[in-house]
Amino acid sequence: MEMLDLFLQTFSSVSLLGTIMILLLFYLVSTFSFTSQEDKKEPPGPRPLPLLGNLLQLDLKRPYETLLKKYGSVFTIYMGPKKVVVLAGYKTVKEALVNHAEEFGERAEMQIMKDVSQGHGVLWSNGESWKEMRRFALTNLRDYGMGKKACEDKICEESQQLTEVFKKFKGTSFDMTQPINYAVSNIICSMVYGSRFEYDDPEFTSLVDRTNKYTLLVGSPSIQVYNQFPWIGRWIANRKLFHKLYEANKKMNLELVRRLKETLNPQMCRGFVDAFLVRKQHLEKSEITNSHFHNENLLMTVIQLFGAGTETTSTTIRWGLLFMTKYPKIQDQVQEELSRVIGSRQVQVEDRKNLPFTDAVIHETQRLANISPMSLPHKTSQDVTFQGYFIKKGTTVYPLLTSVLYDESEWEKPYSFYPAHFLDKDGKFVKRDAFLPFSAATIILILMC
């Protein structure tokens, strides 16, 4: 009897080991095999490990720095078991996102964002829903101030509010993250909800603070690992915290939308939410049942506009202040130009053409700050042969914006704060094609103000 038990235990162990080996072999063949056909040559890259891929070779806090040590302008890495194609350098990124916009135009969802957005909204959606929401968002945000005098007035008002907050510290050191976040968020609120909030409004401050926290969590190493191995989610504390913060913001936005719906006047829309609700009501009366104008798209679009617009803009402003502190001579040149051209009045958008050095400093801040180093992940909408390499439909693609903004063939001093990058020999402002701080087709709409 003991011999029989020992045999069964041994057989079970061997069977289990054999099963694991077969599964591993199948995984290796299916995941890492490359076709030998010349016209199916795939982008090269570092050799991946089973299951882990190239994760151990990446700095998960700053993966873009590792990827700068590239294997050409088009190369492959494995983020865990997922195959990813990286595009590096200005010419390659432009060719893909501009000349082949349709082939590289879909959005690849990160698992953490897929959990909450479910394919709704304007940032993480594809197909007709994305086209409809993007078109509607662009049209209506312009109607409510984006790129117009109304938006300029709101920014001027908020700048005054922010200045008053800074004055309260009377020259002592303080963390400017929150007040700048509040100021930027209020610009978005005025266009999305139709009104701004006071900086001491606990409902508003909690919304902004939670947004800042979960945005930082998205870039954490543990969330990046979760994105590749969703089955370990129950053991990732940052994932649980992200969902807690996101759900709290979702609940608050539902309440804000409810209040706006109760006071809705179709003849006098106050902002983006009102316009969306009016369109939704119109389609419902027309008995159109397959409309993309539903509550989930409204909620996700609002949350995404609020989150993306706040973090990117406020971070850029803080970088600008840091550069002015680090380079006082450049700060003096900016101040001199502003004093000479503007005097004591409030600066206006139309002054921009008369402020070439200041304009150059703003552009150089966005370039060197590099706040979106890998852009948002794209996905191929179809099989495509690009620069001689075959990329299969559905492949995740990262346009490495760091390699564009720091491209040594495009910038004289790519790693230095050098406003002359945007000035000609006569000191006039010049546009640079390689200036892509938010990708060639950014949908961070608030930055168009």
Please indicate, yes or no, whether residues 42 and 126 belong to a single structural domain of this protein.
Answer: no
Please indicate, yes or no, whether residues 148 and 269 belong to a single structural domain of this protein.
Answer: yes
pLDDT for position 137: 87
Amino acid sitting at position 191: M
Question: Which one of 94-98, 133-137, 334-338 scores highest in mean pLDDT?
Answer: 334-338
Please indicate, yes or no, whether residues 271 and 308 belong to a single structural domain of this protein.
Answer: yes
Instruction: Using DSSP, state whether 106 is helix, strand or coil.
Output: strand
Q: Is residue 5 part of a domain?
A: no
pLDDT at 25 over 80: no
Question: How many CB atoms are located within 10 Å of the residue 183 CB?
Answer: 26
Please indicate, yes or no, whether residues 87 and 176 belong to a single structural domain of this protein.
Answer: no
Q: For the chain, how many structural domains are there in total?
A: 2
CA dist., res. 331 & res. 317, Å (int): 14
pLDDT tens digits, 406-442:
999 999 999 999 999 999 999 999 999 999 887 543 4
Please indicate, yes or no, whether residues 125 and 93 belong to a single structural domain of this protein.
Answer: no
pLDDT at 239 over 50: yes
- Give the residue carrying structure tokens 């990329």: 391
pLDDT at 267 over 70: yes
Q: Is residue 348 part of a domain?
A: no
Look up the CATH number of the domain holding residue 204. 1.10.630.10
Please indicate, yes or no, whether residues 274 and 384 belong to a single structural domain of this protein.
Answer: no
Please indicate, yes or no, whether residues 189 and 65 belong to a single structural domain of this protein.
Answer: no
Can you state the angle between helices 356-369 and 295-326, rounded to 10 degrees?
A: 110
Structural domain including 104 reads 29-108+373-448
Q: Say what the pTM is.
A: 0.84
Please indicate, yes or no, whether residues 58 and 178 belong to a single structural domain of this protein.
Answer: no
Please indicate, yes or no, whether residues 303 and 414 belong to a single structural domain of this protein.
Answer: no
pLDDT band of residue 35 (cuts 50, 70, 90) is very low
Please indicate, yes or no, whether residues 217 and 99 belong to a single structural domain of this protein.
Answer: no
Q: Is residue 245 part of a domain?
A: yes
Share of the chain above pLDDT 90, in %: 54
Please indicate, yes or no, whether residues 115 and 82 belong to a single structural domain of this protein.
Answer: no
- Give the residue carrying structure tokens 């608030």: 446
DSSP-assigned letter for residue 49 = B
Q: Is residue 10 part of a domain?
A: no
